[in-house]
Amino acid sequence: MAEILILSLSDLASDPRLDRQLNSLAEEHKVSAAAFGPPRHMEVAFTAIQRPVDASPWSKAASQALRSMRCFDHAYWRHPSVQKWLIELSGLNFAVILVNDAVTLPLAFRIAGERPVVFDAHEYAPSEHLLDWRWRVLIQPSIDWACQTYIPQTAGCMTVSQGIADLYEVNYGGDFTVVTNASRYEDLSPQPVDASNIKLVSWGAADPQRKLELMFDAMELLGPRFSLDLILVPGDENYIEKLKAKAASSPSIRFLPRVPMPELPSFGNAYDIGVFVLPDGHANQTYALPNKFFEFIQARVAVAIGPSVEMEPIANQFDVGIVAEAFTAEALADAIRATSPERLSQLKANTNNAAKALNAEANAELVRSVVNNALKTSGPGSTPGA
């Protein structure tokens, strides 16, 4: 048994991937965590770190000047939040640190010293906000620096899909293990299909890049036999208002209150189809393999998706998917309409086998393997930027 520190700039109570990390590693090791907020249920040694503070206009200008001269390390370490985190994290006992997200890599290496660092990239950090030109100009170069500098020194890496793993390895090196965002196994059964009332559901962040209005347009084409319920995580409030305005004239679309993350599969069990059509836009959209895809399967509902390179093969392998030929409302409506009630019942029945194979419990051994391999290493060596 070793001491494992999980570091994340997030609130653990609302971070499902971190929740799964904690549970996976606690089966074999003594686990502690450092984050903005503690986990929801699990009792672990916890160090609270301060949420980011806004630097002064002068400090921001100075940091940007440093970044423009490609002095990324100096710009990083002079940030007041980073300086505060260094103090808060000093003196912690651990044998391996598992760091989440690229922006935290320099910090993790600094506090690790000679101890090994494992990196969970989640998604592809250099494309995180690629459609925002300000982010591309001001932030992306420093993310690229962090990846170029630190990923080759890691003792192991994880990410959510094979496409993203391949991108990291080609562009930055490292040895990436795919640990999907599969949720825990749920002992549920598919509910019968009512051919006169096909119930669709979707949940997740209200992000304009996801083009959720595509589902609304599809509902107009499907007609009164179909309904759609949405649960949106607060995000872009202007976008949420636009969505609500667009759906206001449609009796088949409802916005429901938030459901606690662990309860989503049980909630979704009452439906027939879970919908998530994510058009290509950048790497994280092209290679998306999101929580909700697996939560739909655990809910024992068919998944309606576009021709996504990561989701479609899994949906086809287990025969649980309604796959549109394109990322359009017309293609989505056509694919759903072409699925007979009998075929829909079969897809839902097939989720029983998929749920047994695609779950957090199956991924737990992958997480433990990456960390256990890191424990065998001698450490990351000298720390750049120190």
Confidence of residue 384 (pLDDT cuts 50, 70, 90): very low
| Closest alpha carbon to 4 in 79, 93, 83 | 93
The amino acid at 270:
A
pLDDT at 378: 55
Classify the C-alpha dihedral 259-260-266-268 as positive or negative: positive
386 falls in which pLDDT band (50, 70, 90)? very low
Would you list the domain boundaries of the chain?
A: 3-182+361-375, 198-358
Over range 128-151, report the average pLDDT: 91
CATH number listed for the domain at residues 3-182+361-375: 3.40.50.2000
pLDDT at 44: 87
Distance CA 288, CA 164 (A): 9
Half-sphere exposure of residue 360: CA atoms within 13 angstroms, side-chain side: 19
pLDDT value for 381: 42
Amino acid identity at 117: V
pLDDT digits (tens, 9 = 90+) for 198-236: 999 999 988 888 899 999 999 999 999 999 999 998 878
Q: Which residue has the tokens 């690629």?
A: 130
Rounded (10°) CA dihedral 36, 39, 45, 47: 0
pLDDT value of residue 288: 95
Query: Going by C-beta distance under 8 Å and a sequence separation of 6 or more, which residues neighbour residue 238?
Result: none
Return d(Cα 90, Cα 335) in angstroms, integer.
Answer: 55
374 and 95 Cβ atoms separated by less than 8 Å: no
Share of the chain above pLDDT 70, in %: 98
Taking alpha carbons only, the member of 235, 255, 369, 351 closest to residue 298 is 351
Structure-model confidence comparison of residues 209 and 358, the more confident one: 358
Confidence of residue 83 (pLDDT cuts 50, 70, 90): very high
- Token reading at 355: 């749920």
Do strands 226-233 and 156-159 pair parallel, antiparallel, or not at all (unpaired)? unpaired
Weakest-pLDDT range from 16-20, 33-37, 47-51, 205-209? 205-209
**Range in 109-113, 156-160, 327-331, 379-383 the model is least confident about:** 379-383
pLDDT of residue 132: 82
Q: Are 262 and 295 in contact (CB under 8 A)?
A: no
Architecture of the domain defined by 198-358: 3-Layer(aba) Sandwich (3.40)
Q: Tally the C-alpha atoms within 13 A of residue 151's C-alpha that lie toward its C-beta.
A: 29
Which pLDDT score, from 0 to 100, does residue 281 have?
81
The pLDDT value given to residue 382: 37
Lowest average pLDDT, out of 73-82, 143-152, 350-359, goes to: 73-82
Strand extents, DSSP E, the chain: 3-7, 30-35, 45-48, 96-100, 117-120, 156-159, 176-178, 198-205, 226-233, 253-255, 273-276, 302-305, 321-323
Q: Do the bridges between strand 117-120 and strand 198-205 make them parallel or antiparallel, or are there none, so unpaired?
A: unpaired
Structure tokens at 222: 């499907």
List, for residues 363-382, the tens digit of each pLDDT value: 999 999 999 999 998 544 43
**Each residue's pLDDT tens digit, 260-287:** 888 999 999 999 999 999 998 889 999 9
Average pLDDT, the chain: 93
Tokens of 325: 């030929």
More confident residue, 321 or 64: 321
Q: Residues 77-89: what's their mean pLDDT? A: 94
Assess whether pLDDT exceeds 80 at residue 325.
yes
